[in-house]
A and B are shown apart, each in its own frame.
Chain A
Amino acid sequence: MSIITVRNLRKEFKVSKHHRGMMGTLRNLTTREFTLVKAVDNIDFTIARGELVGYLGPNGAGKSTTIKMLTGLLTPTGGEVMVNGRVPHQQRQLYVQRIGAVFGQRTTLWWDLPVIESLELLRHIYRIPPDRYRQNLHEFTSLLEMESFLNTPVRSLSLGQRMRADICAALLHDPDLLFLDEPTIGLDVVAKERIREFVRHINSARGVTILLTTHDMADVERLCSRVMIIDHGRLLYDGRLQTLQDRFGGKRELVVDFAEPYPEVTVPGATLTHYHDLRATYEFERQTISASELIGLLSTQYRIRDLSVREPDIEGTIRRIYQEGLLTGDA
């Protein structure tokens, strides 16, 4: 059953042309010239309950405009949006009671209050039953290792601590759906990993549907089986991450350490890119030859001491998609 249904969703902004200088200011006042910007241009998708979907796109692609429409902050120019059985921008108060949102760049907590008091305040705002609140608080604070800073004012938290507190705050009222916007931005590797683990946990153990926007491909790789890619307001790709990788990923690499030096190590189906001091690197395409075939070929001719296969990184794949518009008209 789908929790988010989006049909022909559009959002256009009128951007007034600004002329500069003295005369420019006068012109701005007298004539109103607009250019129409299509921030979101006819997109369709559905997300089923319990999914964890990555929503990707370069800056200015229409990501945050979509999120703002899904959270009810913006009214669409056209099309339909139905989330959790409601039209977000029409029944704001009822709608937001059942969703959670974390915007990595800002906090929803009260700056001068100790974390626990902010959470208490949210308990009242969302009218969370006391028992439920206690259970959730207990579970989240231990999973996110928040006990040490529960009594610290938010303004004195480190970025990683603040992010954990914000994620906890967004989930106390048992939302059906969680919007995570850049939840790992600016964090160190350990902090990122902790947050990813927690996100995965609430998705799998609690069945919370999650829409994750991020620029961190490791987030996507670790968490999302499905990704949607938006650019210039259009949905370029919607499908499994693996499929994206298979179709548009760059070349894979095989690194081989030979047991003894050979003058000639070329092999059909792969290109030798590097050979030095017993170590050879081959590039090969998934469509041409599989890794095991290639390894088989090599091992019949040479004595191999060790080898490893390097997959093309998703970051590179996505970057190629943005830059070369690989998917345009093909999604």
Chain B
Amino acid sequence: MWHTLTLYRRLMSVQMRSQMQYRTAFVLETLSTAVIVAVEFGSVALVLNRFGGIQGWTLAEVAFLYGMSETAFGFMDMIFAGFDPPVFGQHVRRGTFDQLLLRPINITTQVMGSEFTLRRLGKIALGLAIFAFAVQANQIIWTPLKLAYLPVVMFSLFLFFGGLFIIGATITFWTVDSIEVMNILTYGSSFTIDCPMTIYPDWIRRFFTFVVPVIFLSYYPSLYFLDRPELAEAPSFAPFLSPVVGVGLLLLALRFWHFGIRRYQSTGT
């Protein structure tokens, strides 16, 4: 276990050093990941400003949800980059994944260590900036419990998105044709989570409550942090299920991943 961890650290530092070799490219890419977030959030902000909010949510409140999830996604995208479905699909197709299977270390660690996209720092920085703005503008009444729970929610989002990447990567064992579908799965779900669930029709909300329970991931926690009135309609435990959903999806994803590897070994794409 210790060996695996130190190895992961070594593999990661290799990735970082590789990226630093191309300094200009690195700076530009980091900026561009920030710009993408800025443009995306900017357009949401413009619309919200024009209509003075959405279903009773102010721009600052949406920013809270948005900043939290973008930051978590940014961290995940940096650390789980080896599982980014299009990237991983390439490894499978080119046979470089086989090279990893020939080394005597845990395969999940190796895939995690095969990429580390430092340029996501741009996205993370902007996510944090949006989040900081939201915290400032919403005048949140902080309690010790809220302060303690905030990182838990962030981490749960991080694990949840990581799970999505792993699921997407595993699907490439079967097909590499439908990369776009996997992008909908990963980037699509992150954008869905960025917005307050109240804006969606009932059936979508039910889907996200009972089928894929992402509503507990950041929406209910946000209601709790922001002391929103909708919280009264939900059971009192609703804001605290975030880690259950985050950890739960990651565990499911890992099971699927191991199933995928076994299947890969029997079919050899």
Contacts and interface: CB of A to CB of B under 8 A. Distances in A.
Given A106-B94, A121-B14, 14 more contacts: A14-B267, A73-B101, A92-B101, A93-B104, A93-B106, A96-B102, A99-B102, A112-B14, A112-B18, A113-B17, A121-B11, A124-B10, A125-B7, A125-B105
A112 B99 contact: no
Contacts of A110: 14, 18
B96 interface: yes
Contact of B265 (A89, A99, A117, A127): A89
Nearest to A120: B10
B21 A121 contact: no
Contacts of A74: 265-266, 268
9 closest Cβ contacts across the A-B interface?
Answer: A112-B18, A97-B104, A75-B266, A75-B265, A93-B104, A74-B268, A96-B104, A108-B99, A96-B102
A62 interface: no
Nearest to A72: B101
Nearest to A170: B102
18 contacts: A72-B101, A73-B265, A73-B268, A75-B265, A93-B105, A97-B104, A106-B94, A110-B14, A112-B17, A112-B18, A113-B17, A117-B14, A121-B10, A121-B14, A124-B6, A124-B10, A125-B105, A126-B103
For chain B, the bracket of interface size reads 20 to 34
A26 B3 CA distance: 49
A279 B99 CA distance: 55
Interface in B19-58: 21
A110 B114 CA distance: 10
Interface in A60-108: 65, 68, 71-75, 89, 92-94, 96-97, 99, 101, 103, 106, 108
Query: Max chain A CB contacts within 10 Å: which of B104, B105, B265, B266?
Result: B104
A13 interface: yes
A209 B119 CA distance: 45
A96 B105 CA distance: 9
Contacts of B105: 93, 125
A302 interface: no
Q: Is the interface of B mostly helix, strand, loop or mixed?
A: helix
A124 B5 CA distance: 12
A45 interface: no
Interface residues of A, number: 30
Nearest to B95: A106
Contacts of A93: 104-106
Nearest to B261: A92
A13 B7 contact: no
A79 to B, nearest CB: 14
A125 B103 contact: yes
B268 A106 contact: no
Given A108-B99, A112-B18, A68 B268 contact: yes
Contact of B96 (A68, A75, A96, A106): A106
Contacts of B106: 93
B98 interface: yes
A75 B105 CA distance: 19
A94 B268 contact: no
Contacts of B96: 106
A293 to B, nearest CB: 53
Query: Max chain A CB contacts within 10 Å: which of B18, B21, B102, B105?
Result: B102
A99 B103 CA distance: 9
A65 B268 contact: yes
